[in-house]
Amino acid sequence: MNQRRREVFDLPDWWRQAVVYQIYPRSFADANADGIGDLAGITSRVDYLRDLGIDAVWLSPFYPSALADGGYDVDDYRNVDPKIGTLDEFDEMVAALHAAHIKVVVDIVPNHSSNRHKWFRAALNSPKGSNERSRYIFRDGKGENGELPPNEWQSNFGGGAWQRITEPDGSPGQWYLHLFAKEQPDFNWDHPDVHEDFLETLRFWSDRGVDGFRVDVAHGLKKNLDPAFDALADVLGGRELFVDGQHPVWDRDEVHEIYKEWRDVFNEYEPPRTAVAEAWVAPHRQARYASPEGLGQTFNFDLLQADFRADEFHEIISRNLTAAEAIGGSTTWVLSNHDVVRHATRYGLPGGQESKGAPGAGRPPAPAMTESCGFSTAGIPHTSIMPRVPDALARRRCFFSGCPARPTCIRARNWVCRRWARFPTRTDRIRPSSATGMSRSAVMAAAFRCRGAAGAGRSDSATTALTCRSRTGSATTPSRFRMKTPPQP
């Protein structure tokens, strides 16, 4: 195993053969026992990671953040959140991983910043039409006094995609676009400052030894805000209304000009830095993101949508290998990540569509919380608890082509990891009456809150149970989350 890892590590195109392990730093390992995972914790677990036989780790965002979106609301792209470490500790972690022949991939979030980013604060303190404001997407409102949003576009997380600001003089002002949370204003990628700043960020982390980048919402960035599109209320959907590459906000052809600039930066290094696109696009559009002239690879999410059946896996693998060969690229297979139910749980979900050969088929799976802190919950449909979700939870609409019906997620703020609890949406898998024995009205009134003590990572066999109980006192079976924790030294 060690010999194979060394061989992969030394290859210039190591990513073609690598097994990559995702780490959510704030929950993986806590070195200073403050209840939050940290970079020193990752460094302390390098032997554990090496023994897993992986070739690379992918770090979810570790940047300064208010965690409105689990760290994907970035305050500063060239720093470490002081709650989880320092730049020196980052360097020590990279050196330790490299000594174990493990590559390092970090998340980069180019579609939006946080609303605490220095640029956005400058935009709020600058007048309409200023250079500071033009780095983001601001528009005047409609109505007599601009009190209505520029259009009725909805965000991925629910609610309108526009947020009104207060001008420096205290008067109600313009509106800014946020395709995700209101704390995540979208960058204006027509502004040269945005291009230059991200090139600087790529060099900053590459100079510190980072081997590659996972590009969040890679199919976003470029947008066409022609007022003619204002009538398109469901801007997040409606892809069938547009020819390829011409949707107002998703998968526009000109986004690849950005990635050509990035490729020039990657090729300044030896070996060249690599990247992988998170691009939820149609299969025939994936190849451009995986082009050697661009990012070089894109996540292939087809297996996220497949049942555990040999014929489905064979068809998906054969089709995608053929497509990759045609462009000289490679295919990056994804079984799970922080946005979806883990595959061990997903394959075992009860219902008519999973394969008879799936692990756990025919048995309700034990909801699992794994090391990078993905959640799955059995028993309660997602629509059932949204009307009375407690203050500690926040509503989030997810835009995933791999998740039927755009599932609603619930953000658990009460524990150290702050990841997402996902409630299944497939009506052929879970229904209110059959899943819970409750009437629909009773289910609609049910809201859950979770409680649990921090202290993850105490032994290899340890589990931490977070018990959820009905807020209304309904006779509902408690759900339990189980967390597998890495060993302590």
278 noted as active-site residue: yes
CA distances 88 to 60, 93, 402, Å, are 18, 9, 38
Which residue, chain included where needed, has tokens 């749980």? 345
Residue 179: φ, ψ to 5°: -75, -10
Give the amino acid at 262: W
Query: Residue 278 in contact with residue 218, Cβ under 8 Å?
Result: yes
Strand partners, 108: 215
Query: Residue 120 in contact with residue 128, Cβ under 8 Å?
Result: no
Structure tokens that stand for 448 in this block: 């859950």
Selection from 323, 337, 253 nearest residue 290 by Cα: 323
The C-alpha atoms of residue 207 and residue 464 are separated, in whole angstroms, by 38
Annotated catalytic residue, options 55, 81, 216, 354:
216
144 noted as active-site residue: no
| Parallel/antiparallel/unpaired status of strands 466-470 and 448-451 | antiparallel
Which 3 state secondary structure label does DSSP give 409?
A: strand
Query: Residue 61 in contact with residue 107, Cβ under 8 Å?
Result: yes
Which 3 state secondary structure label does DSSP give 86?
A: coil
Selection from 119, 158, 116 nearest residue 137 by Cα: 119
Supply the residues annotated as catalytic: 216, 278
